[in-house]
Structure formats: structure tokens, C-alpha cells
């Protein structure tokens, strides 16, 4: 409860000092012993990391802006699409609004340690009671009471409450900034994957049309042989059996391409008329090699990890704020102004009034509420720590999964290149035999079909490699170091 100023005036100031001392001692009844966070941060060493992620109790700087990692693929159209998405994305605008809100909290907490000065002027027309404390002529009369004064107060932050609240606000800003970067990383990843899907479908469509033309040529050849009496109707029906499946596959690819273009248009905030991509665009993408080992310290660059760490810091600061509530709150208050009965007397000598003194609030009988509040904040810290630990473990698994997939794709690509070389050799031999008059057109078409099958596998592996590499960039926060370009078979028959 506030003690009215002037508190130390008069002959009994020693008694009042004694009263304050006793009150301070009584406030010790409200204590927070045994209350605090119980969860422990995951030891980075157990995950193969250094201690860079081990000390979220120290406020960390906001994560550095992510580099344009998608530019490493060397595709100008992809770069333009990602930049357009980052400029128009609604989710990014929401994240920016959250940053602005966090900054307003910082502004509010920054002025908490400053003196507060207020001014007021009020006038009231009232009838004074004839049987009250006021003597005649005020008793029973109607008069105006006028009061004009300036008040000031200053909160002595002796126990660090304001400092802890400011640290919490700074931590919320860091978390908001990291969330914004996480939204940018996710959006860039979605656009990149969507673009690579479009390239894959364009390459597959071109290959499917070539395969359809090849099968139609085989049917025409069988029809010619049937007319010459060299083949039977059964062989013609057998050659025609695959045509409906191939045509259905071409139509399916067209549908998938339309859906992929619509999705990419939505991500980039464009109209549905996206530029066409050539069938050869997939083969021109630059793909970095698969890393054989990767330092998991790169996970410190992941914005979602940085945001989770910042929220642990916020929780710890809020615990300190809750602990500071157990201690006395001491303010110095003062006022000075004029007070009179009637407007005409406000400027007369003797209307002055002033006061100064401390205002001390003590949590004497409020310990239960304060302990419950501290328990709640401590539980929130435990939740934040466990969420951080779970995210860190999931990030480690995510990186390991993508590296394992990339290494497997690289091994599969080597086998596919061997198979494609063999198919190409068979095609070349068949073409040479036909040119020398030792073979027939059917054997050449059959060999060419084997080459197209291998080419389709090469396209799928290339697309998988690009998609997985994109996911690895996301898993490391866009901070994956580049290595030598990976060799992927791009030959065509």
C-alpha cells in the first residue's frame, strides 16, 4: 500500500523509518524458494555439435540475413521468381507486422526506467454539507473547487524487474525476426521446388512425345510388314497395345504441368501466365556435389532454431520479472500545484500546495498469487526448452536424411550412367548395322526405345537430386557450403 508523502517530515521520522524496515522484513514471507525451470537444454556434444548452441541464457543477436542460396543453381528465371515471391508473399508481411509489434514492446520497456511526469487541471462545482467537516460559510453553500498541479514519479528498479522486462522484449524481437527469416526460407524453398517440378515435367513431356512418335513409327513399320505378308495381325495388335498408355501418360503430364504452374503462380503472387520453360532447362541447372560430411554447427544458422532459442531467452527473462515481484517496489512521488475554492482565488497567495515522498508496495499477504505466477512462467520456460530440444533433434535428423538421400542418388546416377551408356552403344550398333544393310529398322527402333527409357530415369534422378539438395539447403538454414558440381548424365540419343 502507498505511504502518503511527505513521509519523512515531522518529529516522528525515526518511527516511520522503523516501520519501513519492519515492512521490508515482513515482505520476506513471500519467497520463491524451490520454484524455477526444471527442463535442461540438450547437450550439443550429444548431437555432434560444438557449444555454440549451448548457452541460450545469454541474449543473442538477431540471426544474420540469409544469402540468396537459390542463385547457386545458376538459373535466372528461378532467381526472378524467388525474388518476386519474397516481395509479394502475404506470410512475410504478417511476419513483418510481428516484428513491428515486438519493437513497440521494446520502446515501451525502454522508457520504464525514466521518470513519469503528468499534469492535470480540474474544476468541480459542488454543494458542501452543512453538517460536514467544513465550517461556515462553506457549510451548506455551493462553490467551485479548482485544482491545478503537476505530478512526477520515479520507479527505483532496485531488483532488476525493468531490466528483465526489457530483455524479454528484446528476445521477442529476435524471435520475430527469426520467424520472418524462417518464413522467407520456407517460401524460397517452396518456389524453388515448384520450379524444379516444372522443369522436370517439361523434360518428361518432351521425352514422352518422342516416345509416342517412336511407338507410332513402330506401328507404321509393322503395318507395312503386314501389307507385305511379313507380319501377322497379332503382331500389329501387340505393337499398338502401348499407344493408349503412352497417350494417357502425355495427358497426365499436361495436367501435372498445369497444376504446377498454378501453384507456382500462387506462391509468387503472379497471374496464371507464367513464362514457358524449355525442355532443356533441367539439364542446364548447376548442381553442387553431395557433401561427404557436414558440421552440424550449421544448424545455428537455421532461423527456426534461432527463434526457438530466443523464446527460451524470453522465458528466462520473464521468470526474472516474476521473481522481482516478490521484492518491494519503491517509487518516489512528488506533486506541486494550486488549489482553491472558487476560480477567483486560484492565483492568490496561499493557494500553493506540494508534496514529496516515497511510495512503497510490499507483497506481504500476496505470496500465493506470486508463487503461482512464478510457477506458470517457469513452466513456460520448461515448455520452450523442450520445444527447442525437439526442434534441434528434428533438425539433425532432417540434415542426416537429406545427406543420405543425396549420397544414394549420386550412387544411383553412376549406375544409371552405366546403363545409359550401354543402351546408347546398342543403339549405335543397331544404327550401324542398318546403314550397312545387315539389320532392320525394327531393331533400331527397339534400341532407341531402350535409350529413351534410360533418359527418363536420368531425368527423374536429376530432378530428385535438385529437390533433395533444395531440402538440404532448407535444413541448414540456407548456409550449406557449395562443393564441386555434381556430374549427372545429360546425353540424348
User: Which residues does 269 contact at the CB level (< 8 Å), separation at least 6?
Assistant: 84, 85, 87, 88, 89
Angle 389-391-394 (CA atoms, 0-180°, nearest 5)? 110
C-alpha distances in Å from residue 391, one per residue of 41, 188, 488: 12, 21, 34
Residue 391 has pLDDT above 60, yes or no: yes
Cβ contact 363:322 at 8 Å: no
Nearest to 218 by CA among 419, 447, 455: 447
Cell numbers given for 446: 527397339
C-alpha distances in Å from residue 54, one per residue of 49, 398, 477: 9, 20, 18
Distance CA 58, CA 309 (A): 10
**Torsion sign across C-alpha atoms 62, 64, 65, 70:** negative
Distance CA 285, CA 78 (A): 10
* Burial class (CB within 10 angstroms; exposed 0-12, middle 13-18, buried 19+) of 51: exposed
DSSP state of 51: G
Among the ranges given (75-84, 211-220, 297-306, 436-445), the one the predictor scored with the smallest mean pLDDT: 436-445
Nearest to 480 by CA among 79, 63, 69: 69
What pTM was estimated for this model as a whole?
0.72
> Which pLDDT does position 247 carry in this prediction?
87
Residue 257 has φ and ψ, to the nearest 5°, of -65, -45
Considering the chain, what percentage of its residues have pLDDT values greater than 90?
Answer: 8
What is the chain's alpha carbon radius of gyration, rounded to the nearest angstrom?
39
> Which pLDDT does position 461 carry in this prediction?
93
What residues does 145 pair with on adjacent strands? Answer: 124, 341
pLDDT digits (tens, 9 = 90+) for 57-116: 434 444 454 568 898 898 888 998 898 888 876 666 666 666 676 566 655 555 556 667
Domain 42-198+260-327+363-475, CATH = 1.20.1600.10
Cell numbers given for 14: 525515526
Specify which of 221-235, 293-307, 384-398 reaches the highest per-range mean pLDDT.
384-398
Amino acid at each position: 500500500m502507498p505511504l502518503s508523502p511527505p513521509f519523512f517530515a515531522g518529529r516522528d521520522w525515526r518511527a516511520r523509518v522503523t516501520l519501513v524496515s519492519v515492512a521490508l522484513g515482513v515482505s520476506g514471507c513471500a519467497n520463491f524458494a524451490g520454484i524455477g525451470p526444471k527442463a535442461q537444454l540438450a547437450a550439443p556434444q550429444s548431437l555432434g555439435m560444438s557449444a555454440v548452441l549451448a548457452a541460450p541464457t545469454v541474449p543473442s543477436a538477431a540471426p544474420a540475413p540469409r544469402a540468396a542460396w537459390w542463385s547457386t543453381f545458376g538459373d535466372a528465371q528461378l532467381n526472378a521468381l524467388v525474388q518476386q515471391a519474397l516481395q509479394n508473399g502475404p506470410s512475410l508481411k504478417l511476419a513483418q507486422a510481428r516484428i513491428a509489434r515486438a519493437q513497440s514492446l521494446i520502446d515501451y520497456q525502454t522508457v520504464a526506467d525514466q521518470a513519469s511526469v503528468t499534469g492535470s487541471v480540474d474544476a468541480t462545482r459542488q454543494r458542501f454539507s452543512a453538517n460536514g467537516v467544513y465550517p461556515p460559510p462553506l457549510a451548506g453553500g455551493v462553490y467551485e473547487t479548482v485544482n491545478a498541479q503537476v505530478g512526477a514519479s520515479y520507479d527505483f528498479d532496485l531488483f532488476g524487474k525493468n531490466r528483465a522486462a526489457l530483455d524479454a522484449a528484446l528476445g521477442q524481437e529476435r524471435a520475430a525476426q527469426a520467424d520472418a527469416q524462417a518464413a522467407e526460407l520456407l517460401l524460397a524453398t517452396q518456389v524453388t521446388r515448384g520450379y524444379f517440378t516444372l522443369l522436370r515435367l517439361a523434360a518428361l513431356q518432351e521425352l514422352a512425345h518422342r516416345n509416342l512418335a517412336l511407338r507410332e513409327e513402330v506401328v507404321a513399320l509393322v503395318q507395312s510388314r503386314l501389307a507385305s505378308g511379313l507380319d501377322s495381325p497379332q503382331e500389329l495388335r501387340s505393337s499398338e497395345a502401348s499407344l493408349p498408355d503412352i497417350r494417357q501418360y502425355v495427358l497426365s503430364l499436361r495436367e501435372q504441368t498445369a497444376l504446377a504452374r498454378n501453384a507456382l503462380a500462387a506462391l509468387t503472387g503472379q497471374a496464371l501466365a507464367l513464362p514457358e520453360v524449355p525442355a532443356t532447362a533441367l539439364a542446364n541447372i548447376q548442381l553442387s556435389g553431395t557433401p561427404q560430411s557436414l558440421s552440424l554447427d550449421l544448424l545455428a544458422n537455421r532461423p527456426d532454431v534461432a527463434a526457438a532459442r530466443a523464446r527460451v531467452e524470453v522465458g528466462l527473462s520473464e521468470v526474472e520479472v516474476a521473481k522481482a515481484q516478490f521484492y518491494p517496489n519503491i517509487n518516489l512521488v512528488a506533486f506541486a500545484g494550486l488549489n482553491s475554492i472558487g476560480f477567483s482565488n486560484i492565483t492568490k497567495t496561499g493557494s500553493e500546495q506540494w508534496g514529496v515522498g516515497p511510495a512503497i508496495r510490499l507483497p506481504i499477504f500476496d505470496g500465493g498469487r506470486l508463487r503461482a505466477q512464478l510457477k506458470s512462467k517457469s513452466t513456460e520456460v520448461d515448455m520452450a526448452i523442450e520445444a527447442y530440444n525437439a526442434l534441434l533433434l528434428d533438425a539433425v535428423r532432417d540434415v542426416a536424411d537429406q545427406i543420405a538421400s543425396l549420397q544414394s542418388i549420386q550412387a544411383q546416377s553412376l549406375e544409371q550412367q552405366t546403363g545409359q551408356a550401354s543402351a546408347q552403344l546398342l543403339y549405335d550398333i543397331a544404327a550401324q548395322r542398318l546403314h550397312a544393310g545387315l539389320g532392320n529398322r525394327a531393331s533400331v527402333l527397339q534400341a532407341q526405345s531402350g535409350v529413351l527409357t534410360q533418359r527418363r530415369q536420368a531425368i527423374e534422378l536429376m530432378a530428385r537430386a535438385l529437390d533433395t539438395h533444395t531440402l538440404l539447403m532448407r535444413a541448414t538454414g540456407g548456409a550449406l557450403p557449395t562443393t564441386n558440381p555434381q556430374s549427372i548424365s545429360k546425353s540424348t540419343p
